[in-house]
Amino acid sequence: MKPSSSAKSLRLVVLVSGRGTNLGAIIDAAQKQIIQSKIKLVISNQPKALALERAKKAGIPYQIIPSQGRDQQKFFNDLKTAVAAQKPDLIILAGFMKILPRDFTQKFRYKIINIHPALLPSFPGLHAQKQALEAGVAVTGCTVHFVDEGCDTGSIILQKTERLQPGDTEETLSQRLLQKEHACLVEAIKLFEEEKVVLQGDQTLLRKS
């Protein structure tokens, strides 16, 4: 997938809490110039997140803002200040395990996106893959959506589907979904670069060209 000539380079801030394979996919896409955008800062609320190692290895600035055992209002204020200082075009939640408060989502309205391992609005929240297995659906998938103050409730931007297979476990399904998540997130960033994400009220539509 090559970038179109009209693709803009966006200032990205990526928020993480864990192993960071989605962050890895963005780093990879930037290095291969599949996307034009630059990750200006990676922020983790978990000091030991593996994602930080990925940022370090790629030479991307990172910051730890611990959330545990702290006043949560103070944590989110620090986070807001650090994010705002980067003047981001797009804030990407890539396995960031906190629900952002309203003042945060309002400040960066329609600039925050999240990747979720299910076809929202089905199976929001934790263990989305397990929820899909237990519901007995034939098809699940992943979703990139705008972030509001709810849990995985913001307007949907892009989705990819994945069929459940006989004998699937939470692990096997999660593994296959992860590949789709990486592709979906990179594709979503490209859509923003090409200014193809259009809002109509609270609904997100994609421009074809």
Q: Rule CB under 6 A: is residue 95 a binding residue for ligand GRF?
A: yes
We find the least distance from the C-beta atom of residue 208 to ligand GRF, in angstroms, to be 27
User: Positive or negative CA dihedral for 38, 56, 105, 144?
Assistant: positive
40, 54, 111, 116: which one binds ligand GRF (CB under 6 A):
116
Q: Which range touches ligand GRF (CB under 6 A), out of 1-9, 18-26, 55-63, 195-203?
A: 18-26
Rounded CA gap, 101 and 79, in Å?
Answer: 11
Indicate the residue among 15 and 83 with the shorter CB distance to ligand GRF: 15
Q: Report strand pairing: 197-200 vs 203-206.
A: antiparallel
Residue among 186, 139, 144 nearest 161 (CA): 139
For 119, the 3-state DSSP assignment is coil
Q: Which position's Cβ is nearest ligand GRF?
A: 95
115, 132, 144, 184: which one binds ligand GRF (CB under 6 A):
115
Rounded CA gap, 53 and 62, in Å?
Answer: 10
Instruction: State which of positions 175-204 bind ligand GRF (CB under 6 A).
Output: 181
Residue with tokens 């979720």: 116
| Structural contact between residues 14 and 26, judged by C-beta atoms closer than 8 angstroms | yes
Residue 116 a catalytic site member: yes
Q: Which range touches ligand GRF (CB under 6 A), out of 14-22, 63-71, 98-106, 199-207?
A: 14-22
Instruction: State which of positions 49-88 bind ligand GRF (CB under 6 A).
Output: none
Q: Give the residues lining the site for ligand GRF (CB under 6 A).
A: 18-22, 94-95, 115-117, 181
